Structures are given as structure tokens and as C-alpha cells.
Amino acid sequence: MSDKKHEQEKKAKEQKSAENAESKEQKAPLTEWQQRNLEFLAKKKQEKEAKEQQKKEERLEKLARYGKVPKEEEEQEEAAKQESDKDKPKKKTKKTKVKKVKEKKELTKRQKALIKALPVLIVSVLLIAISLFMISPYSKEKTVTVKGSAHTASETVIKEANIKSSDYIFSLLLHPKRYETRLKAANPWVSSAKLSYQFPNHFTLTVKEYSVVGYVQTDAGYQPLLSSGETASVVAVTDLPATYITITLTDKTMLKELAKDLMALDKTLRDSIETIALAGSSSTSDLLTLTMRDGNTVRVPLSEMTTKLPYYSKIKDKLTAPAIVDMEVGIYTTTADIEANNTATTAEATAESSETTTENSEAAAETQQTESAESTTAENQEDSTSQTETAQTTEGQ
């Protein structure tokens, strides 16, 4: 399309130049030299047109034969066009850029067959490479790094996750959940585990642990009570922190509920508790006695700890230690002396009531004995009377 446009423009320009020459001839008579020059130019023009036509035909033949024109010929044509453009006088006209349309080359049968077979070849090569890798010892060579485990050694974590040196890399890569689940089931400290892969053969086991809410005092020692409600193995006294909550409960259900309630409390309030023990109340089975670090004592049911214990933060500044805050029924404060006096008064009242009861029972017993004696005498008199009457009747007969 671009070649045709160029040719049309050339022809239009030549026609204009010829018309201009004819008009000049008509205006003024030409000399013999001018006439020869015109003939020479016309002959040169015809030769040029013949050469261009011949090149065009050759180009079309090559296009039909090869599907495209060789780059060398294109470059030669462009160079010839540039030279011809240089010879022509420059005109102040805007040149329109013509975009070359690339012609798509048709694929050969061999190329089409290769494209169709390419996916099969790629899959086959991959399978062969994977098979060779699995056979080689490199398929089991790996490094595992443990992160986030503060209370368990890295070697123990890897062992609890059941990661073995004989395991294939692809086993860890394709089934990480299997190892994460094993670790969580074997280690009570582990809250979550994530096994990630880094090229080429490195794995990272990232562990997140439960927090410690207190230490359960047992005969064997101190066992950490975790936020999950589970107890970990006994720790040495030297490994205990500077401040911690000592728990003397033994019931596992109560320990789980206690751990959950302690985690729900504010950290400042939780840190102010020193010991937790069972109060031993006959009316409230889950009543706890909490010894606070400020010297006060709080009694609160385990089932109501999260709702009632936060009130202690509001009233503790008004208390004179050592005070007792009883939250069993409502919330009221007392002291050990008051409770001791109440206990003594209650004991005296109980003793007096027991003495009165004893005296009443003794009087009742005496009255009952007197009544029984009187009834026995009356019965004896009646018997003797009946016997006398029977004897008199016999004699009269």
C-alpha cells in the first residue's frame, strides 16, 4: 500500500513538472540546446520508470516465493528512495507517516507438530527430572529451624513433630499440616505451629506458645498452668519468676475454668493476686479465697469471678489492710477480728442452745419416767382388785 502511494505521488509530481515545462514552452520559444535537454530528461525518466517497474516485479516474485522480501533489498530500496528524495527540491509540505503492515508468516507442518507435542515433552522432562531427584540422596537432605519455642528445646520440638532425617523433602512440602498437628498434640505448650519452605531444602517451624497464668503447687513441685487450662511438666524452683500466682486447686475442671477466667481479667488485677485456694464453704462449693499482694483477702465464687472481682479495683483504696472482701452473696467488707468475734458469739449461742436442749430432754425424760411409774401402780391396783372380786365370787358359789 505504501509503495503504491509513493508511485502515485511521483507520477503526480512529474505530470505537474511536464505541464509547467509545456506552459513555459508556450510562453517563450526554446533554443536547440533546451530542446535537447528536455529530450534527455524525458529519456532518463523513461529509463528510471523501467528500472522501478523491473524492481517491483522482482520484489513481487520474491514475496510470492519466500513470503517476505530479504532485508538487504529493503535496505537498498530505502537508500535509493532517500537519494531520490535528496535530489528533489524540498517543499514545505507535511509528510504523512505510513505504518508498515507486518505480514504473518504461515507455520510449516513441522513447526505445527512441534507446538502440539511441546506440552507432552515438557511434562515428560519434568517427570524424568523428579524421578531422578527422588532416587538421589539429595531428596532427603534438609535443614529444619525452630522459631518461637521458649520453653522447649528445638531438638525436642522437631522430635515431637515427628520430622525424621529419612523423610523426603516433598513429604514436608506437600503435607505440612500433618507435622503441625503432631506437634500440637504432643506438646502442651504449643498453641499453633506453621511449617514453611524456603528454596532449595530449608524448612522453618514457627511455634506460638500458650502463656502462663499461674503455678499449681503439688507434692512433686510447681506445675505451670497454661492459658489453655492444661498443666505442663514440673519446673525447678530456681526457674520460677520473681512474681507468680500460687494455686492449690487439684480439680482439673476447676483449673481449666480458672485459667480461662484469669485470662479474661485485666492484667493489673491479675498481677495483684498472690495465691488462690479453695475456701471449703459448705454452701458454695466453688468459693475461692484469693490472697492479694496488698495484704487483703477476697472471697469470690469461681463461677462469678469475671463479674465480681473487677469491683475490687474500685474499693481497694478505701480499705484498711488487712481487710476481707466477701463476694459470696453480694459484696461487703469485714476483718478477721470481726469474723472471730462473730464465730465466738455463734459458738456460745450454739453451746447455750445445746445445754438448754439437754436440760429440756432430761426434764422430759424424768416426766416420762414418773408417768410410766404412776401408770404401772394403777395397773397393779386394778389387777389386785380384780383378783379379790374373783375370789369372793368363788367362795359364794
Neighbouring C-beta atoms of residue 339, cutoff 10 Å: 12
pLDDT bin (cut points 50, 70, 90) of residue 338 is confident
pLDDT at 79: 64
Lowest mean pLDDT among 76-85, 156-165, 230-239, 325-334: 76-85
The owner of cell 517543499 is 91
User: What pLDDT band is residue 148 in, cutting at 50, 70 and 90?
Assistant: very high
CATH node for 212-334: 3.40.50.10960
| pLDDT for 235 | 93
**Domain 141-209, classified CATH 3.10.20.310, yes or no:** yes
Alpha helices (H) in 224-335, listed in sequence order: 252-264, 267-271, 305-308, 312-315
**Whether the predicted pLDDT of 11 surpasses 80:** no
Of 62-71, 127-136, 252-261, 337-346, the poorest mean pLDDT is in 62-71
Domain ranges (residues) in the chain: 141-209, 212-334
pLDDT at 290: 96
Average pLDDT of the segment spanning 90-96: 50
Q: How confident is the model at residue 378 (pLDDT cuts 50, 70, 90)?
A: low
Residue 392 scores a pLDDT above 50: no
Taking all residues of the chain, what is their mean pLDDT, rounded to a whole number?
Answer: 81
Q: Order of strands across the sheet with 273-278?
A: 222-226, 212-217, 246-247, 273-278, 287-292, 297-301, 324-326, 332-334
Closest CA to 304 of 287, 322, 279: 287
pLDDT at position 342 is 74
Q: Is the pLDDT reported for residue 388 higher than 50?
A: no
